Amino acid sequence: MELTLAKQKNANTALEYDLVIIGAGITGAGTARDAARRGLSVLVVDQGDVAAGTSSCSSKLVHGGLRYLEQGELALVFESVAERRILLNIAPHLVLPLPFLLPVFDDSPRGMLTINIGMWLYDGLSLFRSPKLHKSLSRRKVRSTEPQLRAEGLKGAQLYYDCSTDDARLTLETLLDAQQAGAEISTYSRVEGFQFEAGRITGLELRDQLNGHCQTVSAKVVVNATGPWSDMTRSLAGTISHERMRPTKGVHIVLNADKLRLEHAVCCMHPDDGRVFFSIPWGEQTYIGTTDTDTQGDPGSVFADAGDVAYLLRAVNAYFPGNEVSTDDVISTWAGVRPLVGDESADDESSVSREHVLAVEPHGMVTIAGGKLTTFRRMAAEVVDTVVDQLKTVGASRGRLRAAETAVNPLPGAVGWPEQGGIQAVSEQIMDLAAGLISAQTAMLLAQTYGMRGINIAEAVVADPASGQALSEGRHEILAQVDWGVNHELVRTVSDIMIRRTQLFYRAADQGLSALKLVSERLAILLELKPEASEKQVEFYRAQVQRSQAWRAE
């Protein structure tokens, strides 16, 4: 996909921007939104799809982080819970309150009283504005609310609230808001090299991964927001004196909820090594994670192995012993690499700080590394402040810029959000509009996925009833989502739809393979793909499914 909104272009010059951001994950998306809303000209490039890396492979939580509280990182917790409140306001369809249960057993390292004190501190750091304040639950109450939880040695539990999110869609909508503010986005655009003038980066050489198109763009400032690829990007731009990143692999497994049905996200400690893991309700599924192990190599090539799955199954069966969950119950897995900043003093992977580092490289590139999903908006503001300073340094100041106001402006799916009723009210609007053409389950899915934009998809179904057909038998996703993805959500490949726009890859029993023909044929029409290009996308998706299941053969 070629760039269409050229900045300062003529026959002898490349496209020129105040700011080019490498990386369309949550940090790059947040930076683009902040910068575009301030009035800077912005281009975002990524070698893959939006959120195709770490930002679609997290634990899907917006939270303060009890672990960080235990580690004494009070400033990080305070910042995180403040951002949690903001995200609840600007993305109420994507950031949802979620009750967490922290059970206490006879052999737990901390008793009910100690944890209760910690919970009061957690509530206090949020200025007592958590979705709900915590409660101490008796053993009997815990047994009645989560009957599958291990009863042996159970003393009680603390009930507290954080939030869940769809990490990929939070990233996507942040980027779409940046696009509405004037930013340009070029996915599947790989940086092949940099151009320099007087020792400073002034341009990037790009290659489209899908059609081979090459292009050069000029940038007054370049931001490296490539997460676990940060050191690789730094290396491409010139020799680096040391690596900043200590990447760790996190794996999650997905089960059907009828195998492990939970009312709360349950926070426990792994019986082998004491690491925290979560069992999280996810609609018709439940997911469990995460592992936390050092990893090397290309972050895009990580996947779950047999040891990762066995590790998580041991934990599940230790805390939910009556279920006897086995490898046969695992529908899918996902694996991602956390972009943690290295800390030689850290004894293990889980103790590495989630704080971020912002640095201006000798050649002027701004690198943002580390951090966590919850605090992306604040990190982005810091990055743009640094970019503005760099623009002044090179004599390219844009003068007085607008205020970004990212804390108060809703993301696209939340524009016009009802004051009462939330997702249920939006779902009812969708159902009223497309009555008889879609199911109630599909209406709810559209409300939860797209927010108010789900109404636009319902309107498309009314205009073309055939687009209301299910992508796969027994599933609630519909063909109109494919059309919407291409027309409004930067979709360029089959995998974009199957993995990050619909999540069939994770949720369907066959990981969406039965929907593959319908989806690929529709995309081929919408994107005007030649048969060989369409087939290549289909085979690539099949390979991704096979890779995610490769652990079964180990």
pLDDT digits (tens, 9 = 90+) for 507-525: 999 999 999 999 999 999 9
pLDDT at 11: 34
Which residue, among 20, 18, 32, has the nearest Cα to 379 in the 3D structure?
Answer: 32
Kind plus residue range of the DSSP H or E element containing 208: strand 200-208
Which residue, among 36, 300, 7, 15, has the nearest Cα to 175 in the 3D structure?
Answer: 36
Which residue, among 443, 504, 18, has the nearest Cα to 218 in the 3D structure?
Answer: 18
Residue 514 to residue 136: CA distance in whole angstroms: 46
**pLDDT tens digits for 24-83?**
999 999 999 999 999 999 999 999 999 999 999 999 999 988 877 877 788 888 889 999
Question: Which tokens in the block code for residue 391?
Answer: 């623009």
pLDDT at 241: 67
Kindly report the three-state secondary structure assignment for every residue of 450-504: HCCHHHHHHHHHHHCHHHHCECCCCCCCECHHHHHHHHHCCCCCHHHHHHHHCCH
Q: Which residues of the chain have pLDDT under 70?
A: 1-14, 239, 241, 342-354
In single-letter form, the type of residue at position 131 comes to P
The answer to whether 459 and 483 are in contact (CB under 8 A) is no
Residue 478 to residue 237: CA distance in whole angstroms: 43
Cis ω on the peptide bond leading into residue 54 (within 30° of 0)?
Answer: no
Residue 459 to residue 434: CA distance in whole angstroms: 7
Kindly report the three-state secondary structure assignment for every residue of 237-265: CCCCCCCCECCEEEEEEEEECCCCCCCCE
The answer to whether 55 and 373 are in contact (CB under 8 A) is yes
Q: What are the φ/ψ torsions at residue 191 (nearest 5 degrees)? A: -80, 115
Give just the sign of the alpha carbon dihedral 483, 487, 489, 491: positive
Residues in the chain: 554
Which residue, among 315, 293, 320, 318, has the nearest Cα to 304 in the 3D structure?
Answer: 293
pLDDT at 77: 87
